[in-house]
Structure 1
Amino acid sequence: MVGLSGSQWHESNRGVSLYLAIYLVLFITVTALSGILHNRPKLGAFLPEAAMVILVGIVVGVIVHITVDNHEAQGNVASSLLSFSPQVFFIILLPPIIFNSGYHLQRELFFRYITPICLYACFGTVICSMVMSLWLYMLSPYFSFTPSLLELMAFSALISATDPVSTLAVFSEKKVDPHLFYLVFGDSSVNDAVSLVLFDSLSHLIESNITNVGSEIAQFLFDFLTGFIGSIVLGVAIGLGYALFLKTFDFRHLPLFELGIFSTVIYFPFVIAEIMHLSGIVTVLMTGIVAKRYAEPNLFVDTARSADVIFRLLAHITETIIFLELGLSVASLVGLNGFRASFLIASVFGCLIGRAANVYPITLVYNFCKSRANIASESFFSEAFTKQADSITHVATEQRTTLHSSEKSLDDTIISWNKAHMLWFAGLRGAVSYGLVRMFPATENKSIFVATTMIIVLITTFVLGGATEFALRVFNIDVGVDEKQYMASVSSEKLLVGRLSRFEKTTLRHWVVRDDNHPKHYQDVEGEYMEHIEMTTREHDRIVGRQARPESVYDYGQ
């Protein structure tokens, strides 16, 4: 290794071996510590797994930074360990996590609450970014540097990307009300894509030295809407394409080939979206949802089982690497002229204020609209019951029972203020924000934004993430909820209704899902497979002590 230049260490077998050896040791260490953390619930309540992995990365990063001479070849390897590549993050590490999120989420619950999810994630993120940028701009005379409005807008956009890893891990462990779980999960999933589009657009304005922001608003809105909608359409199309391919070409007698083809669904949607200048995050998320619904039924049961394991494993590995990178990168900030106490304090309060401006007004408007709809529905049914009460008493009684059941179902979509408080509290910042700030335009203030973002990530992960269980008690959030019983209590007609539902059930599935997806010579292993899945789930819940939830960057450590 001695004598290799900084640009040559990665071309040496010894350099690459040293780099990988360090990472393998770190991965084994944090995995073992995660197991210990699971066996000590009281400790886990104050030190979430994500925070623990970051902490290990910080300790190792500081040791490497202090002990290694950066002029030696080993120092060049160390510099690479302490750096954070946004390209690797977005292209290599992020797709498996986002795909796994969509592949394992409860489709019915996600789409049941799709309206508030989109309101919080789309409109709310824009509101949060605008409020925070105006807040920072008003306080800019008190900073020790002079950021431009565009720089503050770009910083506000990237810091608005929520990443509530620690919060949702506790949600899973405590079996929090699925309504709240999927509101937070769905908001954070779509929110990342919105923040990414906002940041890309604002970064382009900064790099182009455009000062007349008003002239660019129309183009920005057009790019945002077409990019977001186009990503959804592309994700659905790719998911259906995989289903149709697996239906047309039957590889069930060749499980290895079938698994190899299906595994490409993790990265293929992302790279196609990036080539088309669309959002890879949204595309991969939608592909995961559609692939689970339509492509998986075309697989041999052993292939489906293996694919499920691969998706979970890759998500877990990449999550661990991301948080290790976050921790290791802290040491790289030493010596940077980036820490500004006044800007940091203003940014922390700006995050809280912007998140509140997102959650509470949207909750108020959404609940008002839902209440009006519920009142109209109640009036309609009450009038019908009154007309029939005198003639057919027992029929009226049955209908009133149905009315009460309908009211309960309708009220389930109302967002209580305690849930709104928890939504506000769950607005942690994480890997996506840090990945974006590393791509910040090369202005003279970039180091300040990088350092501030890193500190905010650490504060929210350790402080807010560690206080999640306490917040659940304070806000009186329902815990210990059985998701299967919850799903059984939800009227299936409320999940997908109308012509779209009929088209999906009678036409679309017939097009892309084979009719003989359970042929006779495969039925003997299907029962064994389903029994294995149920036993594995029960054993997992017994050991980990929590109900299975969609594993993702928002459900670290499952």
Structure 2
Amino acid sequence: MGEATTEHQIGMESQKEFAVYFAVTITIVMGAILFSNYVAHHKHWFMLPEAAATILVGMLGGVLYLLHTSSVTQSLATFDPSIFFIGLLPPIIFNSGYTMKRRFFFDNITAIVTYAVAGTTISSFVVGVIVYTVGYCGISLKLTLAEALSFGALISATDTVSVLAIFQELRVEPTLFYLVFGESSLNDAVAIVLFASFSKFIGNSFTASAIPVAVLDFIFIFVGSTLVGILFGMISALLFKHYNFKGCLFHEVSVYVMFSYLPFSVCTAFDLSGVVAILFTGIAMKHYTCNNLSEEGKATCAKFFNAISYLSEATIFLNLGLAVFSMQKGFHFSFAFWTLFACLVGRALHVYPLSYLLNLRKSAERQITKPTQHMLWFSGLRGALCFALALEWPNELQRHYIINVTMVVVLTTLFIGGGATVPVLNYLKIKRLTPSEDLAIDQIVRPLKRLRILQFDAKYLVPFLTHMQPPSEDGGVTNLKAVNELKQVVNDEIRPAAATVAQDEDGIDFNNMH
């Protein structure tokens, strides 16, 4: 009886201690949000991006945690990869696909997929080979080939939240914005799958001949996860098309939100990539399912996903700051130096050669210009995903070196690269739009003729999965009268009414349908 009472008392004390530090953590999260809002929207300090401001608050909070050494304190200060991948990452990735303006995305789809898939793969190999070579020569940390390639994959995951926030506020021309946004949206998924494929060989025999096996594994996981994501998007569309919620907004929104997590769990169970699946689920649900929601449901879901995504991002960067003071011993300076060098080289060797190849098939007015290429190279900041993958490093002997160096790379690129974004934009003379130009580009519809898959989608899939009807035989993709009226309104600098152009984001004009 006495032992049971003692255990109960110990449990109560542990709960109290956890509650206190959890309350402190919540307070720090709120403080980080307020501080980042003040920095970005009150003072417009572009030299201190929102992500960096949040990390700073986390580092200050970490000082409080240094005063206590209990297990609960350490668990709060330590970045738990399970919480990241299961709790925080899915809403961020889903929101990336959900908020994507798909007509700009698909207008640059070839370049985006090339940079994200081929580019990330190239960067992973370049970084891995450089790190392996310098380690073999004895001037850096020595890693096996499998370890080097795994590290190259995890450190090639870019995080452009800070850069995109600045791009959006300055109204940077949309081609650059969506190249950076599209690449970063797919890049995380590619890096995770590559890391999973290469890390399987850590501790096992791995030679250059095993690389094709790892690449095939990557292709299988990526394609399979993509299909799962699209399938769930279509299933949700059919459900919302044929089931009547009788105006119950909370039921409608609740079921919609649950679909944003389902594919992640399914893919995890079948050893596929939940991140890839949930990204394409977000794209498919916004394209199909969203059109079957009530008007209130559309507005509520959009606000919910934006809010939960922002809160998740803030929590991740805050934990990054907190984790600075919980880093283990074992920092390797030469490893950090060569990793930063390899990241710059790997980024350059995928942006510039791939841009050259892409420009061979583009007309003069659609070329990816040199300033845009330079900005793409500069925008390859590293973020929380790299750190979370480093915490999942399978080799216990090398883990603390990998974690510490990854932290240094993340902090260096975020603070230096993120802070220098505006000066680099000014130096490269990147075009910025006026409010009227921004509105015109955002509203004028691009034709579907450039991509046959979008024509097939508009004619068959959209009518089958939504309440909308197929376009007219002539394509029905542009309402010239509406566009001309819009141009006149923009020239007069009067914001048009929401009903001026009734169209879907992908360029389907629903005023010109049967």
TM-score (norm 2): 0.85
The superposition leaves residues 180-208 of structure 1 with CA deviations (integer Å, 9 ceiling, x where unpaired) of 0110111111111111111111111004x
Quick check: 1:248 aligned with 2:242? yes
Structure 2 counterpart of 1:419, one-letter code: T
Work out whether 1:106 is the aligned partner of 2:101. yes
1:125 aligns with 2:127: no
Secondary structure of the corresponding residue to residue 253 of structure 1:
coil
In the aligned structure 1, how far is the partner of 2:11 from the partner of 2:377? Answer: 46
Is the 2:351–2:376 contact (alpha carbons within 8 Å) kept by the matching residues of 1?
A: yes
Aligned match for 2:375, one of 413, 416, 422? 422
Query: For 1:172 and 1:319, how far apart are their aligned partners in 2?
Result: 17
**Post-superposition CA distance 1:127-156 (Å, at most 9, x none):** 111112222222223436432222221111
Q: What is the match of residue 50 of structure 1?
A: 51
Match of 1:365 among 351, 357, 376: 357
**Equivalent residue runs for 1:307-326 within 5 Å:** 307-326=301-320
Aligned residue for 1:355? 347
Total equivalences in the alignment: 461
1:338–1:450 Cα contact (<8 Å) kept: no
Tell me which residue corresponds to 1:301.
295
The residue that corresponds to 1:484 in the other structure is 439
Q: What one-letter code is carried by the residue in structure 2 that aligns with 1:287? A: T
Contact preservation (8 Å) 1:252, 1:300: no
Letter in 2 for 1:63: L
Partner residue of 1:182? 178
Q: Which moved more, 1:52-61 or 1:22-31?
A: 22-31
Quickly say closer, same or farther: Cα 1:244–1:206, change in 2 above 3 A. Answer: same
The SS at the match of 1:444 is: helix
Matched-pair contact (CA < 8 Å) for 1:142–1:342: no
Q: Give, in whole Å, the separation in 1 of the partners of 2:238 and 2:205.
A: 46
Query: Are the equivalent residues in 1 in contact too, given 2:391–2:403 (CA < 8 A)?
Result: yes
**SS of equivalent to 1:52:** helix
- Structure-2 change in CA distance of 1:4 and 1:51 (3 Å): farther
What corresponds to 2:34 in structure 1? 32
2:499 equivalent in structure 1: none
Using the alignment, how far apart are the partners of 1:145 and 1:306 within structure 2? 50
In the alignment, structure 1 residue 437 sits paired with structure 2 residue 417: no
- Rounded Cα–Cα distance in structure 2 between residues aligned with 1:145 and 1:307: 48
Code of the aligned partner of 1:344: A
Q: Shift in Å at residue 437 of structure 1? A: 0.4
Tell me the SS of whatever aligns to 2:271: coil
Q: Distance in 2 between matches of 1:152 and 1:201?
A: 13
Q: Secondary structure at the match of 2:245?
A: coil
Identity of aligned residues (%): 37
Change (3 A) 1:211 1:483: same
Letter in 1 for 2:360: F
1:497 counterpart residue number: 451
Report the CA distance between 1:178 and its aligned residue.
Answer: 0.6
Residue 511 in 1 paired to residue 448 in 2? no
Taking CA–CA contacts closer than 8 Å with sequence separation of 6 or more, which of the two structures ends up with the larger relative contact order? 1
CA change 1:10–1:168 in 2 (3 A) is: farther
- 3-state SS, counterpart of residue 28 of structure 1: helix
Aligned-partner Cα distance in 2 for 1:146–1:328: 29
Aligned-residue offset at 1:4:
10
The residue identity in structure 1 corresponding to 2:418 is G
**Secondary structure of 1:369's match?**
coil
Q: 1:213 deviation in Å?
A: 4.3
3-state DSSP of counterpart to 2:467: coil
Contact 1:130–1:153 (CA under 8 A) maintained in structure 2: yes
Report Cα offsets for 1:386-441 as digits up to 9, x if no partner: xxxxxxxxxxxxxxxxxxxxxxxx723x2001100000000000011011000011
Where does the alignment leave 5 or more consecutive residues of structure 2 unmatched? 470-504, 506-514
Does the CA contact (< 8 Å) of 1:338 and 1:452 recur in 2?
Answer: no
* AA in 2 matched with 1:254: C
Structure 1, unaligned runs of 5 or more: 375-409, 517-549, 551-558
Give the corresponding residue for 2:365.
Answer: 411
3-state SS in 1 of match to 2:60: helix
Whichever of the two has the greater Rg, that structure is 1
Distance 1:9 1:420 in 2: 57
The aligned residue for residue 16 of structure 2 is: 14
Cα distance change, pair 342–80 in 1 and its aligned pair in 2 (3 A) = same
1:235-292 residue CA offsets vs partner (Å, 9 max, x unmatched)? 1111111010011111142222111111112211211121222221221111111111
Give the drift of 1:297.
Answer: 1.6
Residue pairs, 1:255-266, within 5 angstroms: 255-266=249-260
Secondary structure of the 2:430 match is coil
Asked if 1 retains the 8 angstrom alpha-carbon contact of 2:97 and 2:185, the reply is no
1:150 is matched with which residue?
146
Describe how 1:519-538 pairs up with structure 2 within 5 A.
none
3-state SS of paired residue (1:290): helix
Q: How far apart, in 2, do the equivalents of 1:200 and 1:87 lie?
A: 15
| Within-5 A mapping of 1:265-344 | 265-333=259-327, 336-344=328-336
CA separation of 1:356 and 1:119: change in aligned 2, threshold 3 A: same
* Distance in 1 of aligned mates of 2:229 and 2:386: 23
Q: Is the 8 A contact 1:9 1:16 kept in 2?
A: no
Written as runs of structure 1 = structure 2, the 5 A alignment for 1:57-76 is 57-65=58-66, 67-68=67-68, 70=69, 75-76=70-71
What is the aligned counterpart of 1:468 among 404, 421, 442? 421
Give how far 1:362 is off: 0.5
How far off is 1:480 after superposition? 2.7
Task: Report the Cα distance in structure 1 between the residues aligned to 2:219 and 2:388, rounded to whole angstroms.
Answer: 23
The Cα offsets for residues 86-130 of structure 1, whole Å up to 9 and x where unpaired, read as 111011100101111111110001111111111111111111111
- Matched to 2:231, the amino acid is A
Separation in 2, partners of 1:302, 1:33: 32
Q: Distance in 1 between matches of 2:399 and 2:262?
A: 32
Q: Using the alignment, how far apart are the partners of 1:467 and 1:147 within structure 2?
A: 33
Q: CA distance change for structure 1 residues 266 and 78 in 2, over 3 Å: closer, same or farther?
A: same
The alignment partner of 2:201 has SS state of helix
Counterparts of 1:497 and 1:347, CA distance in 2? 40
CA distance in 2, matches of 1:108, 1:11: 55
CA-to-partner distance for each residue in 1:14-52, whole Å, 9 max, x for gaps? 23422320122112211221232134444x211111000
Q: Does residue 205 of structure 2 align to residue 210 of structure 1?
A: yes
**Shift of residue 443, structure 1, vs aligned partner:** 3.5
Contact preservation (8 Å) 1:162, 1:188: yes
Name the CA shift for 1:252/1:475 in 2 (closer, same or farther; >3 Å).
Answer: farther
| Alignment CA distance shift 1:427-1:4 (3 Å) | farther
